[in-house]
């Protein structure tokens, strides 16, 4: 029996639009609720969300019965963290702060078993292999791993074409919030300078033959990114859904609060 087919990776390869939702609350209950909403993918955030390996495992178990794909984002692209994320069952990873093709190539190696890579072989004791019940896991796991690299700095922007062209990189995610800050427009990803940079990056990613993605909570920006050719877009966050819903309900009963007006897209 081979490793489970990665439907998200297949959809990206075929150019089918995939709509996602960010998960930063580190809650299996929240994850379960969001998994039933009909999104194509959920991003489990270990960079900014208070997530460790144990909490991520519980969220993976919570969403397992649903037809939604779990994408994991470790806090940084370290080999040992990538190994742990893959071993607990993530087949798709989104790695932040990727700036060069050499860095992207090293991430590819971290996602693959020897001799093609350097992922540690511990399949006999991990969730990803069904605790060694998937007999062909070691022979089939590599092909089902989907590696998305996140470009969000000026250096990454300069190198985005080479990063996208790296063999084994399955897609490039533009981090609009950090990119906006890097370009001198912190908190304003909709600024024309930032939008021009994203437009150029998406075009270069497309010319490299790879899908581009991003996150936005502003409907106008979501529409713009889709028009530019982004094929996987996260359209909101669990935090914003709860906070805005709570704000609206409180305001309805005369208990409004002031809040930031900045776009919190990652």
Query: Considering the domain 7-252, what is its CATH architecture?
Result: Alpha-Beta Barrel (3.20)
pLDDT higher than threshold 70 for residue 60: yes
pLDDT higher than threshold 90 for residue 261: no
**Other CB atoms within 10 Å distance of the CB of residue 261:** 6
Q: Among 72-76, 138-142, 217-221, which stretch is predicted with the lowest mean pLDDT?
A: 217-221
- The ranges assigned to domains in the chain are 7-252
Average pLDDT over residues 82-111: 98
Average pLDDT over residues 104-119: 98
Q: Which residue has the tokens 């081979």?
A: 2
Kind and range of the H or E run holding 181: helix 176-182
The whole-angstrom separation of Cα 69 and Cα 174 is 20
pLDDT at 68: 98
Average pLDDT over residues 226-248: 96
Q: Tens digits of per-residue pLDDT, 156-207?
A: 999 999 999 999 999 999 999 999 999 999 999 999 999 999 999 999 999 9
The whole-angstrom separation of Cα 68 and Cα 36 is 8
| β-sheet bridge partners, residue 44 | 23, 72
Task: Kindly tell me the sign of the dihedral angle through the C-alpha atoms of 55, 57, 30, 74.
Answer: positive
Average pLDDT over residues 110-133: 97
The whole-angstrom separation of Cα 125 and Cα 207 is 41
| Confidence at 1, pLDDT banded by 50, 70, 90 | confident
**Other CB atoms within 10 Å distance of the CB of residue 254:** 6
Taking alpha carbons only, the member of 218, 229, 231, 220 closest to residue 177 is 218
Q: Are 23 and 44 in contact (CB under 8 A)?
A: yes
pLDDT at 81: 98
pLDDT higher than threshold 70 for residue 48: yes
Phi and psi at residue 232, to the nearest 5°: -135, 120
The whole-angstrom separation of Cα 222 and Cα 11 is 19
Query: What does pTM read for this prediction?
Result: 0.94
pLDDT at 263: 52
Q: What percent of the chain has pLDDT above 90?
A: 94
Q: Among 133-142, 167-176, 252-261, which stretch is predicted with the lowest mean pLDDT?
A: 252-261
| Confidence at 266, pLDDT banded by 50, 70, 90 | low
pLDDT at 199: 96
Catalytic residues: 48
| β-sheet bridge partners, residue 149 | 95, 172
CA distances from 99 to 20, 27, 213 (A): 24, 31, 16
Mean pLDDT over all residues of the chain?
Answer: 95
CA distances from 255 to 32, 161, 177, 243, 259 (A): 30, 49, 30, 14, 13
- Three-state DSSP at 212 gives strand
Provide Rg for the chain, Cα atoms. 18
The whole-angstrom separation of Cα 139 and Cα 149 is 24
Q: What percent of the chain has pLDDT above 70?
A: 97
| Confidence at 257, pLDDT banded by 50, 70, 90 | confident
Burial class (CB in 10 A: 0-12, 13-18, 19+), 167: exposed
pLDDT at 118: 98
pLDDT at 259: 64
pLDDT higher than threshold 70 for residue 260: no
């Amino acid at each position: 029996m081979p490793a489970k087919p990665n439907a998200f990776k297949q959809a990206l390869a075929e150019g089918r639009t995939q709509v996602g939702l960010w998960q930063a609350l580190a809650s299996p209950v929240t994850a379960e609720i969001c998994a039933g909403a009909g999104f194509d993918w959920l991003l489990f955030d270990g960079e900014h969300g208070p997530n460790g390996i144990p909490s991520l495992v519980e969220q993976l178990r919570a969403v397992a019965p649903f037809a939604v794909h779990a994408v994991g984002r470790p806090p940084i692209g370290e080999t040992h963290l990538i190994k742990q994320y893959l071993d607990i069952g993530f087949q798709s990873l989104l790695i932040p702060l990727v700036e060069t093709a050499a860095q992207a190539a090293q991430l590819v190696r971290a996602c693959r078993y020897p001799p093609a890579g350097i992922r540690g072989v511990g399949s006999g004791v991990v969730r990803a292999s069904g605790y060694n019940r998937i007999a062909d896991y070691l022979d089939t796991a590599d092909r089902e791993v989907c590696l998305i690299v996140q470009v969000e700095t000026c250096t990454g922007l300069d190198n985005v074409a080479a990063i996208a062209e790296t063999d084994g990189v399955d897609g490039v995610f533009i981090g609009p919030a950090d990119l906006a800050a890097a370009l001198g427009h912190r908190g304003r990803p909709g600024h024309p300078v930032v939008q021009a940079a994203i437009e150029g990056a998406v075009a270069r990613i497309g010319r490299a033959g790879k899908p581009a993605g991003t996150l936005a909570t502003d409907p106008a920006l979501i529409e713009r990114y889709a028009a530019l050719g982004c094929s996987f877009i996260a359209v909101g966050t669990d935090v914003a859904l709860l906070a805005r819903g709570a704000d609206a309900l409180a305001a309805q009963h005369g208990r409004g609060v002031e809040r930031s007006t900045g776009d919190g897209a990652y």
